[in-house]
A and B are shown apart, each in its own frame.
Chain A
Amino acid sequence: MVRSLRSLPRWLRWSVALLFFASATILVPRWWCGLDGARCYAGDRDTIAALARHVAVTVAKGVSSADFTSDSPLFRGEWQFGTYQMAALGLLQTCHEHPDLREELRPGIESAIAGLLSPSVRAFDAQSWNEDALDSLDGPHGHAAYLGYLNLVLTLDRATFADSRHTALNDRISAALARRFRAAPHQIIETYPGEAYPVDNASCLASLLLHQRLTGTDHSAAIAGTRECFRSRWRDSRTGLLLQAINHRSGQPTDRGRASGTALAAYFLAMAEPGLARPLFESNRTHLAGSILGFGYVDEYAADQQGGGDIDSGPLIFGMSPSGTGFTIATARAFGDRSLYVSLARTAYLMGAPVSRGDERFFITGGPLGNAIMLAMFTAQPIAP
């Protein structure tokens, strides 16, 4: 056998070598990097618990704006806020799917909510508006991002824990958001003065829909126009992607349909009204999702459009969007697309480089924000058929 191998002509030896190289390159990374993703998609308790423990420990220790590297104080504040918000969502989803982890993870959830409510975290929004979002709930100003993202967490907390300590604040914020939707001339609430983003309004809308379902409070008249905007007006006419920004005075788009906003809005809306979220997910999947050697990605812009990366998308690599790719994992699970979920999770494994420490597991390129986001995306709850 060995003797016959050694007598092979040179061209055949090299052809077989090339065949081995190609076969192993196509099969091995796809299999190896997909193992974690397949476990998360199936809701494997131990895999999810290890990710959740790391996030819970991180928020219990506290996250400060100094943990982030951007030169912009606004972005550092947003990321501090985003870390607590995504941590809370991920931990709440984990508790929903694995009730036996509730006792262990609840302190982490309470730490995340305490972080969201702390003055240092509220500061990024308060500095933009020259008023605090929670102290001005009776006022006219939007605060869509701070209030919408916070209220979604408070509503899910209430849905998960019958003895939630945040029901009164949840009711007050919900009433304020409903009133602001009713007063908005183009059905969109401002995030900062002069800036309005449909994705932030998706969190407001999802929180109100969930609040309505949980408490019986009727917000339907206040949010009817905004729901319609998510169905048609705020979507790109060709691709169906969600427009990234809207002029709140004119109602006209000021940015294009993009993956990062579409995917995150679809994740929020899937929790409350899957019928609104599914077309957004399908637009992302149809026009922006792709795969190389089984490693999935989502482009930020549709094929015929050019654009750069920004704070929403992260730096684009040949047009691929880090945020769009990560956020689409959530809706792939919500809408039962296992193939897309695992392909995107392979990319997260390859570029995120997860490691285990004791009973925790985390992505080394993730940091506090990245790990909180990945927990929330991996544990997004499937839509009941």
Chain B
Amino acid sequence: MKRRPPTLRRILIEAAALVAVHFALLQILARANLLEHLLAPGADSRFALGVTAVFLLLRVFLIVFAPGWLLARLWLWAARPAADGAR
């Protein structure tokens, strides 16, 4: 079964959702001290380290790779074959 290419609306919503999730996590984590767990984990650090790792992976993706990913998706949408032009 052939997968349908994403619509412009879906591309933009996914990008906005990524930014929103990052912003929300940023605000939540701004209330916790994380470096201490990163540099010298203690017995209670497992949860904090897990949350921090997920957040940093998301942040690296958002800041480093997402701009190129969004640009490439927009290009592929603009240059989609004529048969998909109805969307």
A and B: real partners? yes
Partner of B72, one of A7, A8, A18, A315: A18
Partner of B78, one of A2, A7, A79, A357: A2
- CB <8 Å contact, B76 and A13: yes
In the bound assembly, the distance between CA atoms of A346 and B55 in angstroms comes to 17
Please tell me if B15 contacts chain A, counting CB pairs below 8 Å: no
**Per-position 1/0 for A48-59, Cβ under 8 A of B:** 000000000000
- CB <8 Å contact, A350 and B68: no
Contacts of A42 in B (CB 8 A): none
In the complex formed, the residue of A with least CB distance to B34 is A365
Query: Which positions 1-56 of chain A face chain B at CB distance < 8 Å?
Result: 2-3, 5-8, 13-14, 16-18, 20-25, 28-29, 32-33
- CB <8 Å contact, A22 and B29: no
- CB <8 Å contact, A16 and B79: yes
In the bound assembly, the distance between CA atoms of A98 and B5 in angstroms comes to 55
- CB <8 Å contact, A367 and B36: yes
Contacts of A2 in B (CB 8 A): 78
Known A6-B82, A13-B79, A355-B30; contact A67-B69, beta-carbon cutoff 8 A: no
- CB <8 Å contact, B71 and A21: yes
Please tell me if A168 contacts chain B, counting CB pairs below 8 Å: no
Chain A interface, >50% SS class:
helix
Ranked 9 nearest A-B pairs via Cβ: A24-B68, A70-B40, A367-B33, A21-B68, A370-B35, A25-B68, A28-B67, A17-B72, A69-B42
Can you report 6 A-B residue pairs in the complex whose CB atoms are below 8 A from each other? A13-B75, A17-B75, A21-B69, A23-B68, A24-B71, A364-B29
- CB <8 Å contact, A29 and B67: yes
In the bound assembly, the distance between CA atoms of A222 and B52 in angstroms comes to 48
- CB <8 Å contact, A79 and B71: no
Known A20-B72, A25-B68, A355-B27; contact A67-B33, beta-carbon cutoff 8 A: yes
- CB <8 Å contact, A72 and B76: no
In the bound assembly, the distance between CA atoms of A69 and B68 in angstroms comes to 38
Please tell me if B38 contacts chain A, counting CB pairs below 8 Å: yes
In the complex formed, the residue of A with least CB distance to B44 is A69
Partner of A20, one of B33, B71, B82: B71
Minimum distance in angstroms from B76 CB to a CB of chain A: 5
Contacts of B60 in A (CB 8 A): 350
Contacts of B70 in A (CB 8 A): 24
Partner of A367, one of B35, B44, B72: B35
Minimum distance in angstroms from B59 CB to a CB of chain A: 6
Partner of A25, one of B27, B34, B67: B67
Please tell me if B50 contacts chain A, counting CB pairs below 8 Å: no
Query: Which positions 21-66 of chain B face chain A at CB distance < 8 Å?
Result: 26-27, 29-30, 32-45, 48, 52, 55-56, 59-60, 63-65
- CB <8 Å contact, A22 and B68: yes
Chain B interface, >50% SS class:
helix
- CB <8 Å contact, A33 and B63: yes
Contacts of B30 in A (CB 8 A): 355, 357, 362, 364
- CB <8 Å contact, A21 and B72: yes
- CB <8 Å contact, A68 and B40: yes
Contacts of B43 in A (CB 8 A): 71
Known A7-B82, A28-B67, A29-B64; contact A20-B75, beta-carbon cutoff 8 A: yes
- CB <8 Å contact, A365 and B40: no
Contacts of A24 in B (CB 8 A): 67-68, 70-72
In the bound assembly, the distance between CA atoms of A115 and B61 in angstroms comes to 40
- CB <8 Å contact, A71 and B42: yes
Partner of A350, one of B64, B67, B81: B64
- CB <8 Å contact, A75 and B59: no
- CB <8 Å contact, A72 and B64: no
Question: Other CB < 8 Å A-B pairs besides A70-B36, A365-B38, 15 of them?
Answer: A5-B79, A6-B80, A6-B82, A13-B76, A13-B79, A24-B70, A29-B67, A32-B63, A67-B36, A322-B38, A355-B30, A362-B30, A364-B26, A364-B29, A364-B34
Minimum distance in angstroms from B47 CB to a CB of chain A: 11
**Per-position 1/0 for A345-385, Cβ under 8 A of B:** 00000110101010000111111111000000000000000
Partner of B35, one of A7, A22, A293, A365: A365
Contacts of B45 in A (CB 8 A): 69
Contacts of B80 in A (CB 8 A): 6
Please tell me if A314 contacts chain B, counting CB pairs below 8 Å: yes
In the complex formed, the residue of A with least CB distance to B82 is A6
Minimum distance in angstroms from A325 CB to a CB of chain B: 13
